[in-house]
Structure 1
């Protein structure tokens, strides 16, 4: 039989013995949008030829009286043999009354679910501790408090610092923070074994620092476990294994305090400090008894020299107004107004943050072996309770009200003032400082 010419007409109304040449010369007649070239071998298989020249395989039949049509792909990407094989498979299912779409939908759902699980696991493996830590710093907070204390927030940043930058004091570069090795680990991988290995390594550098870092990280884990986004990725009890807890250093409560006999040499040594801002800051700690962070962050707007009032932030950041005692007023008013803060600094905070170096110099001059800034707060409490009611001392130190405190009552400012002045006068007497002039109505003269 002679091979049909390229211009031979095709009878689209009748099934055809499909060949490559036939499909190659199949064209849509003028005036029609498409035409179907039906296969004589596989019932339901046809090639749809459009006016634009597109050629696509289709399979069409009925399943339980309902029309079923399936696109099989483009010719010649899908060959005649491949199209017939797929048509054969579909006809076998439909003749049994099976709708291929139902089974395929179920298979697709199973594949999608498996893929979703695989994707979720892959995402979980890709979320690093270091990815979540910044979110913890911005959205986390201590229990029953409105937010981080600035100094503690600085410590959280320092704990994960990569190191390698020039030290602010002394030669050399900074070392990585204790928690930095954990930042590159997947959050889902953090368990007791991982933390135990990490803790043993960090404890070689310093047990107390490693223990503090562990407590901070456990707070991070608790925060993650309370958030739906990360709850499934963390083990809330990580870091509580017996192997870690048994090796933690004992917790020792600091009890250092500036004794009565030490006040005079300490005060004299502080007066000799070259850093006058740090000197006045340390003296203000002793004369006010307020926490070091609150004194450091004191602003000029917080001090009313005319009406002798000063406002500090308490432990949870709430403002509390106290009497401004005469000598403390004199110390503050003598400081230069560099910025909005009384104890100004050139650091990023704008105010003094750490005066331990100045305190260490004063202690060396005074021949006092050990004293922390908080030891000055304890000294105020001890000296104050020797001359004033315990409740008045507690109120001056911004302690929260307690029903068990001896003689405690919230006193109005004017009623609290005499006790505040008495405490200050007693401390100054121990320091060997003589004060002349009025005790009210403005800053006194200092003799």
Structure 2
């Protein structure tokens, strides 16, 4: 057989000794997408040419009667000898029963896993925090309470905004410094250093921020993608716990002898909304946020009921007692909220200043707004109301040991709450016509 001329394209039907010239003359036959030129020295080596003229070295062999083809590389990047050596190595691998394609896929998967792990290691608290705010939630709840969600945002706020009260700009939230940390760097030492720094600005605020961050760590530990990156118990390390302020339960409450002075001080407040709100807290034992968020739509004057947003359940309904109905009816209806305000929230948010004025008038040294809730419980016991009824009105979880607790209907609760109200009013020296139409409160001589 005559040798083909060096200017002619190689005969693809036969093996050829790969040379630079043969590769240069290789063309794809008309009407085909690709063609292969086989090597004589390395039987599994091919040179592939496409219709566009691109050329590359290719390994081709059979495994379990199936053709295996794997690209080695561009002919401009690989020498013929290196391509032959690679083809021989792949052939040896195939003889051992190893599929080069599977090996390559494994290598790519390992590389991707390494890249993912490296990216995860670089993940910061600040990158994950927004996802926690969006999808995190407390146990047995569908979502954050609006107030707690707002507190979470405030704790990590960057600061630098104009203060709503007073001059100057707001400071960064206590959790802000932690957002820059990598998740993998959140450990006992890092949290101890952060807590010690924040405690200098306010120990109780730093403690509350720590409790919130513990919730974040628990949430991360429950998610597979973050579980290996964090130390869930970093915030519970002994060095941190020892520095926490004592968790002494507050016991402040009105004594029976203090009720007249406190009541008179509250009645004399220039802010009538705050005055009614504070008295309503004492007469219902409600949590301050529950009552502040009360809307007119949830006040039923006809059937004498109040529906409050509840901390444990979604809502709870309690009786609307006669005196409370009358003072609520005297409030102006300037919006959806019963205790309306001109502030951004549209409702009363902080009555500590007003309460302080009333306490000063009554010569009472200390009583928190939450102390009014404890006062309701104690005064309710003094009035002779059952512990279970008091707990239900306050929204406490039922206690089966107290009295074989069974939830009462609103009508079953009504006489007990009226009994408590009458006791408080008697202590305060208030007399009124219980039969009067709400909104037409009148003192009885």
TM-score (norm: length of structure 1): 0.83
* Contact residue 383 and residue 419 of structure 2 kept, 8 A: yes
Equivalent-residue separation in structure 1 for 2:414 and 2:27 (angstroms) = 105
- Tell me: CA distance 1:360–1:42, structure 2 relative to 1, closer, same or farther (3 Å): same
Residue in 2 aligned with 1:388? Answer: 384
* Contact residue 314 and residue 320 of structure 1 kept, 8 A: yes
Q: Deviations over 1:103-149 (max 9, x none)?
A: 64464355335423422322212322222223333333333445433
Equivalent-residue separation in structure 2 for 1:34 and 1:148 (angstroms) = 61
Superposition pairs of residues 13-412 of structure 1, within 5 angstroms: 24=24, 47=47, 53-57=53-57, 71-75=71-75, 77-78=76-77, 82-91=79-88, 94=91, 98-99=94-95, 102=98, 104-105=100-101, 107-391=103-387, 392-405=389-402, 410-412=407-409
1:17 Cα deviation after fit: 7.2
Equivalent-residue separation in structure 2 for 1:135 and 1:52 (angstroms) = 48
- Tell me: CA distance 1:100–1:338, structure 2 relative to 1, closer, same or farther (3 Å): farther
RMSD: 3.6
Q: Deviations over 1:389-429 (max 9, x none)?
A: 23343343333332333696654444433332332233223
Q: Tell me, what secondary structure is at the counterpart of 1:321?
A: strand
Equivalent-residue separation in structure 1 for 2:173 and 2:309 (angstroms) = 30
Larger Rg: 1
Q: Tell me, what secondary structure is at the counterpart of 2:308?
A: strand
Q: Tell me, what secondary structure is at the counterpart of 1:294?
A: helix
* Contact residue 90 and residue 100 of structure 2 kept, 8 A: no
Q: Deviations over 1:48-67 (max 9, x none)?
A: 56665555445667789986
- Tell me: CA distance 1:296–1:86, structure 2 relative to 1, closer, same or farther (3 Å): same
- Tell me: CA distance 1:238–1:54, structure 2 relative to 1, closer, same or farther (3 Å): closer
Larger displacement relative to structure 2 (221-230 or 24-33)? 24-33
* Contact residue 129 and residue 184 of structure 1 kept, 8 A: yes
Q: Tell me, what secondary structure is at the counterpart of 2:323?
A: helix
Equivalent-residue separation in structure 1 for 2:208 and 2:299 (angstroms) = 36
Specify every segment of 5 or more residues in structure 2 that has no aligned partner in the other structure, as ranges: none
* Contact residue 57 and residue 83 of structure 2 kept, 8 A: no
Specify every segment of 5 or more residues in structure 1 that has no aligned partner in the other structure, as ranges: none
Larger displacement relative to structure 2 (123-132 or 213-222)? 123-132
Equivalent-residue separation in structure 2 for 1:294 and 1:32 (angstroms) = 78
Equivalent-residue separation in structure 2 for 1:375 and 1:33 (angstroms) = 85
- Of 413, 425, 428, the residue aligned with 1:428 is 425
1:182 Cα deviation after fit: 0.9
* Contact residue 306 and residue 442 of structure 1 kept, 8 A: no
Q: Tell me, what secondary structure is at the counterpart of 1:445?
A: coil
Equivalent-residue separation in structure 2 for 1:66 and 1:397 (angstroms) = 76
1:87 Cα deviation after fit: 1.7
Q: Tell me, what secondary structure is at the counterpart of 1:172?
A: coil
Equivalent-residue separation in structure 2 for 1:438 and 1:59 (angstroms) = 99
1:16 Cα deviation after fit: 6.7
1:188 Cα deviation after fit: 2.3
Residue in 2 aligned with 1:418? Answer: 415
- Tell me: CA distance 1:5–1:199, structure 2 relative to 1, closer, same or farther (3 Å): same
Q: Tell me, what secondary structure is at the counterpart of 1:127?
A: coil
Larger displacement relative to structure 2 (242-251 or 404-413)? 404-413
* Number of residue pairs the alignment of both structures matches: 438
Equivalent-residue separation in structure 1 for 2:68 and 2:403 (angstroms) = 90
* Contact residue 146 and residue 316 of structure 1 kept, 8 A: no
Q: Deviations over 1:228-263 (max 9, x none)?
A: 232222222111222112222111111111222322
Equivalent-residue separation in structure 1 for 2:258 and 2:149 (angstroms) = 34
